[in-house]
Structure 1
């Protein structure tokens, strides 16, 4: 599954420590990026009832942790999904079922988070590199079932070095890190991550540094964006030896990626999207001179990708009320009008492939991707206004299993929406004002 590939102010004009996007992504640094991506909680609510989650297969990790890990671990009845939430000065690790805060780790700079791809670790960016955060929950396959374990979360000192760490994308069982400052592309096997040492990596590079993204395809080839510090124009596919297999420069301002319908890859452009099918690209145009799609949410099990849709090239901050639905099988793009605007951290794909948009009216809007119609609008938070600074907190959506997790910075709350029933089933007050949110299935 790809995280939301969501967008943020262009690093050429805005300072950033960085892609959602999920993003994937989710979704990219923090799963999202806008371009122009502890202790007990403070209330006394009983969150012990938890929520049932659907989880994918586990990964073959040592049940006792790594060789140098002194933290005690325990086998538990089932997978223990966990959330990572950034705040000004650090990151929280939260039990996704009980909403108990399990860890509070200080971190400098504008902190962003991405799943590392193994359903256990997160990658933190807020300085020079991608720093490894162990959420402390994982599962190990055993025949027709998994064994699940937990331990204390840990922010390690291990980091993949990068001058300007950017997007993180996991696909085809490989995780790819993109360095906007150098164009360096780092490929790793997420199942090899431990707190002992960083795993072996394979390195690639783009012809010129730029705010970009890359991912490994099912056949082992590498897709990466094309551009430089002044402009981004499209994408290319190269093999393991760096030999170019395909290229398209028909995607001005390329930003945001999502995987859908198996191995199709969608890239956002300023006049539509670029879709990769197999070994060739197709352009799906909006027919408008400027119609920027730079935030994408998709899932490889479903053929429709959700994107934003902006039409004012001169706006310092456009507050769009239209979203785009991209069908990778039909190669068609449909626009859906919403009753409110949204931000780059508002997009998600539900467990049944439904498109989800968190509006500034405080509602989570559920869209039928086949009909292009709003099925439901679930009241979750109070009405809000998108801040002009993209790094400032705003209500943010993260989908994990059957649940949508929505932050409310104005009240320091975290809300849980059952995406199957359409009901808000839980909430908790956090000890910090939440900014970005992501999660792992444990």
Structure 2
């Protein structure tokens, strides 16, 4: 870590393959590691260990107004493909991050997602696009799914406040990912 003059103020070298990053509220920075999450809150590095022997964290889904980051969490180094069945949750405002364990939310049976399959919205909830064809709302503070809206087959636009499908459309070909836009 460097200050405004370029002088090193802190160093952390135990974050095997650094992958992904995000900046949460109050400029709390997160980096994904193969065994947890490296954070920089209040000018000092802290490491949150994965609850699994292998717990690779990649991208962080953050907002400027929430201290809570939602991260992808892969717990099987031999898993084929990019489907995930767990979501990591990091509260960067926690008083004691160093040595703490990364919180992980297990998804319902049959629900998986890709690392691009999550987004945040104005109320700081997370929305996960599951392989079951549904949008799942995650209350990041409670660390639980609070709503699920089935959206299957054709391309749909969903009002996240009500769960109502407000538009449908056909596209040529078969998409492998879709984006959440707010």
Normalising by the smaller structure, the TM-score range is 0.7 to 0.9
Matches within 5 A, 1:347-386: 347-382=118-153
C-alpha displacement of 1:429: 3.2
C-alpha displacement of 1:298: 0.8
- Partner Cα separation in structure 2 for residue 365 and residue 438 of structure 1: 14
C-alpha displacement of 1:284: 1.0
- Partner Cα separation in structure 2 for residue 371 and residue 247 of structure 1: 33
Do the aligned partners of 2:57 and 2:71 also contact (CA within 8 Å) in 1?
yes
- Which residue matches 2:160? 419
C-alpha displacement of 1:360: 0.4
- Partner Cα separation in structure 1 for residue 24 and residue 163 of structure 2: 24
- Which residue matches 2:26? 262
Q: Deviation string for 1:146-171 (max 9, x for gaps)? A: xxxxxxxxxxxxxxxxxxxxxxxxxx
- Which residue matches 1:89? none
C-alpha displacement of 1:347: 1.1
- Partner Cα separation in structure 2 for residue 254 and residue 438 of structure 1: 25
C-alpha displacement of 1:321: 1.4
Query: Could you state the TM-score of these two structures normalised by the residue count of structure 1?
Result: 0.36
Q: Deviation string for 1:53-94 (max 9, x for gaps)? A: xxxxxxxxxxxxxxxxxxxxxxxxxxxxxxxxxxxxxxxxxx
- Partner Cα separation in structure 1 for residue 180 and residue 160 of structure 2: 16
| CA RMSD across the alignment | 2.5
Residue 14 of structure 2: SS of its match in structure 1?
coil
Mark the CA change 1:437 to 1:365 in structure 2 (over 3 Å): closer, same or farther: closer
Do the aligned partners of 1:351 and 1:419 also contact (CA within 8 Å) in 2?
no
Task: Pick which of 426-435 and 300-309 moved more.
Answer: 426-435
- Which residue matches 1:428? 169
- Which residue matches 2:106? 337
C-alpha displacement of 1:349: 1.2
Whichever of the two has the greater Rg, that structure is 1
C-alpha displacement of 1:435: 6.2
Do the aligned partners of 2:117 and 2:179 also contact (CA within 8 Å) in 1?
no
Name which of 73, 79, 86 aligns with 1:322: 86
C-alpha displacement of 1:350: 1.9
**Deviation above 6 Å: which 4+ runs of structure 1?**
435-441
Gaps (5+ residues) in structure 2? Answer: none
- Which residue matches 1:346? 117
Mark the CA change 1:343 to 1:439 in structure 2 (over 3 Å): closer, same or farther: closer
- Partner Cα separation in structure 1 for residue 179 and residue 9 of structure 2: 34
Mark the CA change 1:418 to 1:307 in structure 2 (over 3 Å): closer, same or farther: same
C-alpha displacement of 1:422: 2.3
C-alpha displacement of 1:297: 0.7
| Corresponding residue pairs, total | 175
Residue 266 of structure 1: SS of its match in structure 2?
strand
C-alpha displacement of 1:372: 1.3
Q: Deviation string for 1:230-287 (max 9, x for gaps)? A: xxxxxxx234664333221121111111111220011111111011113211111124
Gaps (5+ residues) in structure 1? Answer: 1-236, 383-410
- Partner Cα separation in structure 1 for residue 181 and residue 74 of structure 2: 31
Do the aligned partners of 2:38 and 2:48 also contact (CA within 8 Å) in 1?
yes
- Which residue matches 1:305? 69
Residue 294 of structure 1: SS of its match in structure 2?
strand
